[in-house]
């Protein structure tokens, strides 16, 4: 009993060495004892899949072997080839490739229920330049990206400066006023055909990865303040992209606006020179005033940009006179091709930074989980110790009561008959009052730290 109590007292205050042992136990215990919802590292999974067949590994986590194979691919863990276990059973050699170093985008571990990370390959510019160079006016008919877009845009509602805002959003990225719709589509059509002839396909953003569309500031002189335009200009749900190699580059054609002094006439604002035609003979009323207001200029701007999240690269070609963009198409295509390596480099840098942040976050999460595991184990040990000491105390109490009754029965035997009968009756009442003392049952119901 003293030995049990001594062991129980040692459980009350785990030392730092005890915490280290708990941490080592959590990392090194066999997979058969691991809870199926506990996180497994790449190294542990690699050791496991080369120790036993995939079906058994999958059973440990309560998943299918197909999902377990997907987990291995996601964590870049090599698996035994077909026939590996049969070769070993017949004493034949079957090579085991080493675990490769962890690469960008590869998770450090996996837990059942976690979404598997999908890794998109980094975009790469073409090795060689295309032989054919696009010429101005190349291509016949309407480009497939623009088919039906003009009709949908033309049927949209008009907002300020007569900019079009269609109800459909899966269209080519053209943001212009109603009067410039035809000219804008002519320029964009020539550009898209020229890109296609140069070997650079153009399409609405595919769903193979996430692409974002750079915001448009239609002001000719944006300035430092953010353009808080109301109502907002139309924007597509999927950006229009050209692919140089596997590098995607966003394309947006929009009309510029110019801010000038204006006066409100009726329900609209007009530039001062146009407003003078509506000036009353008696002059403008006292409540009439002028304010800076933006007006569509009839000049276009082509904005190309990096559509990859986490990167920022934008270049613009701005018309000084209407119609200039159409004359620059050949140069624009060459500049777009030259920008592909720069965008690919930005994406690589962004992926590297994102991977660094993800690893730091994952390590921090593992640290928190490890601390929580140690906290739960210490709590379980403390609760088990408290319950065990209570059982030991009840055991001592039961032993003391039992000694009392045994001593009393021995003493009663020496009494006269009448007194002995009275004493035995008292002892029977006392035993009934105390009840059955069974510390062994309490010990059997006790839960140790591991059971908790």
Q: Residue 284 domain-assigned?
A: no
Do 159 and 254 lie in a common domain?
yes
Q: Residue 336 domain-assigned?
A: no
pLDDT tops 70 at residue 37 = no
- Cα dist. 79→69, 84, 90, 95, 107 in Å? 8, 10, 20, 11, 17
Do 92 and 189 lie in a common domain?
no
Do 4 and 38 lie in a common domain?
no
pLDDT at 23: 35
Number of domains in the chain: 3
Do 168 and 316 lie in a common domain?
yes
d(CA 184, CA 149): 12
Q: Residue 110 domain-assigned?
A: yes
Q: What is the pLDDT of residues 52-70, one digit of tens each?
A: 999 999 998 889 989 999 9
Q: Residue 139 domain-assigned?
A: no
Look at residues 86, 119, 152 and tell me which one is the last residue of a structural domain.
Answer: 119
d(CA 352, CA 311): 12
Q: Which pLDDT band, with edges at 50, 70 and 90, does 25 fall under?
A: very low
Do 246 and 389 lie in a common domain?
no
Do 250 and 300 lie in a common domain?
yes
Before 214, cis peptide (omega within 30)?
A: no
d(CA 98, CA 287): 82
Do 249 and 382 lie in a common domain?
no
Do 312 and 240 lie in a common domain?
yes
Q: Residue 372 domain-assigned?
A: yes
Q: How many CA atoms lie within 13 A of 316 on its CB side?
A: 18
Look at residues 73, 104, 119 and tell me which one is the last residue of a structural domain.
Answer: 119
Do 58 and 187 lie in a common domain?
no
d(CA 80, CA 84): 6
Place of tokens 């079009």: 164
Q: Residue 185 domain-assigned?
A: yes
Give mean pLDDT, residues 160-184.
Answer: 93
pLDDT at 313: 96
Are 239 and 145 in contact by the 8 Å Cβ rule? The answer is no
Q: What is the 3-state secondary structure (H, E, C) of the chain?
A: CHHHHHHHHHCCCCCHHHHHHHHHHHHHCCHHHCCCCCCEEHHHHHHHHCCCCHHHHHHHHCCCHHHHHHHHHHCCCCCCCCCHHHHHHCCCCCCCCCCCCCCCCCCCEECCCCCCCCCCCCCCCCCCCCCCCCCCCCCCCCCHHHCCHHHHHHCCEECHHHEEECCCCCCCCEECEHHHHHHHHHHHHHHHHHHHHCCCCEEECCCCCCCCCCCCCCECCCCCCCCCCCCCCCCCCCCEEEEECCEEEEEEEEEEEEEEEEEEECCEEEEHHHHHHHCCCCCCCCCCCEEEEEEEEEEEEEEEECCCCCCCCEEEEECCCCCHHHHCHHHHHHHHHHHHHHHHHHHHHHHHHHHHHHHHHHHHHHHHHHHHHHHHHHHHHHHHHHHHHHHHHHHHHHHHHHHHHHHHHHHHCCCCHHHHHHHHHHHHHHHHHHCCCCHHHHHHHCCCCCCC
Question: What percent of the chain has a predicted confidence (pLDDT) above 90?
Answer: 43
Do 185 and 317 lie in a common domain?
yes
Q: What is the pLDDT of residues 83-137, one digit of tens each?
A: 999 989 888 988 999 999 887 678 888 888 888 866 678 888 887 665 455 444 4
Do 22 and 100 lie in a common domain?
no
pLDDT at 138: 53
pLDDT at 36: 60
Q: Which of 39, 7, 205, 52 is nearest to 112 (CA)?
A: 39
Lowest mean pLDDT among 28-32, 191-195, 287-291, 398-402: 28-32
Q: Residue 434 domain-assigned?
A: yes
- Cα dist. 218→214, 234, 242, 299, 300 in Å? 12, 12, 22, 11, 10
Q: What is the pLDDT of residues 299-322, one digit of tens each?
A: 999 999 999 999 999 999 999 999
Do 171 and 253 lie in a common domain?
yes
Q: Sort strands 247-265 and 174-175 into parallel, antiparallel or unpaired.
A: parallel
Which range of residues forms the domain containing residue 382?
A: 1-26+355-452
Q: Residue 44 domain-assigned?
A: yes
Neighbours of 166 (CB within 10 A): 16
Query: In this structure, what are the phi and psi dihedrals at residue 55, rounded to the nearest 5 degrees?
Result: -60, -40
pLDDT tops 50 at residue 30 = no
d(CA 420, CA 408): 11
Lowest mean pLDDT among 22-31, 190-199, 328-337, 396-405: 22-31
- Please name every residue paired with 430 in a beta bridge, in sequence order, or none if there are none: none
pLDDT at 14: 36
pLDDT at 161: 83
């Amino acid at each position: 009993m003293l030995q049990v109590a001594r062991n129980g007292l040692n459980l009350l205050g785990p030392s730092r060495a005890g915490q280290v042992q708990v941490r080592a136990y959590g990392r090194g215990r066999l997979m058969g004892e691991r809870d199926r919802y506990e996180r497994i590292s790449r190294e542990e999974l690699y050791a496991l899949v080369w120790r036993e067949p995939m079906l058994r590994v999958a059973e440990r986590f309560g998943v299918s072997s197909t999902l377990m194979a997907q987990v291995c691919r996601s964590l870049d863990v090599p698996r035994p080839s077909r026939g590996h276990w049969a070769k070993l059973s017949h004493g034949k050699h079957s090579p085991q490739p080493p675990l490769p170093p962890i690469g960008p985008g590869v998770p450090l571990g996996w837990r059942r229920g976690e979404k598997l990370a999908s890794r998109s390959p980094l975009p790469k510019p073409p090795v060689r330049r295309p032989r054919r160079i696009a010429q101005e006016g190349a291509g016949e008919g309407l480009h497939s990206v623009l088919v039906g877009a003009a009709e949908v845009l033309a049927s949209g509602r008009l907002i300020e400066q007569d900019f079009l805002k269609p109800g459909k959003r899966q269209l080519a990225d053209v943001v212009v006023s109603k009067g410039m719709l035809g000219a804008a589509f002519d320029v964009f059509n020539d550009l898209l055909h020229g890109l296609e002839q140069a070997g650079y396909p153009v399409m609405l953003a595919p769903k193979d990865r996430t692409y974002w569309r750079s915001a448009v500031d239609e002001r000719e002189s944006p300035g430092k303040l953010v353009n808080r335009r109301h109502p907002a200009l139309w924007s597509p749900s999927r950006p229009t992209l050209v692919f140089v190699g596997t590098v995607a580059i966003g394309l947006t054609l929009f009309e510029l606006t110019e801010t000038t002094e204006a006066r409100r006439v009726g329900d609209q604002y007009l530039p001062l020179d146009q407003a003078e035609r509506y000036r009353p003979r008696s002059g403008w009323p006292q409540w009439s005033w002028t304010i800076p207001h933006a007006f569509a200029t009839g000049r276009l701007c082509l904005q190309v940009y990096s559509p990859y999240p986490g990167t920022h690269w934008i270049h613009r070609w701005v018309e000084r006179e209407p119609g200039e963009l159409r004359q620059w198409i050949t140069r624009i295509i060459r500049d777009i091709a030259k920008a592909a390596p720069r965008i690919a480099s930005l994406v690589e840098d962004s992926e590297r930074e994102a991977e660094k942040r993800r690893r730091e976050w994952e390590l921090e999460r593992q640290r928190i989980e490890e601390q929580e595991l140690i906290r739960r184990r210490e709590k379980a040990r403390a609760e088990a110790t408290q319950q065990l000491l209570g059982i030991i105390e009840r055991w001592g109490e039961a032993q003391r009561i039992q000694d009392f009754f045994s001593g009393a029965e021995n003493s009663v035997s020496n009494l006269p008959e009448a007194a002995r009968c009275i004493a035995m009756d008292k002892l029977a009442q006392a035993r009934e009052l105390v009840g059955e003392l069974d510390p062994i049952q309490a010990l059997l119901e006790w839960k140790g730290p591991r059971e908790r």
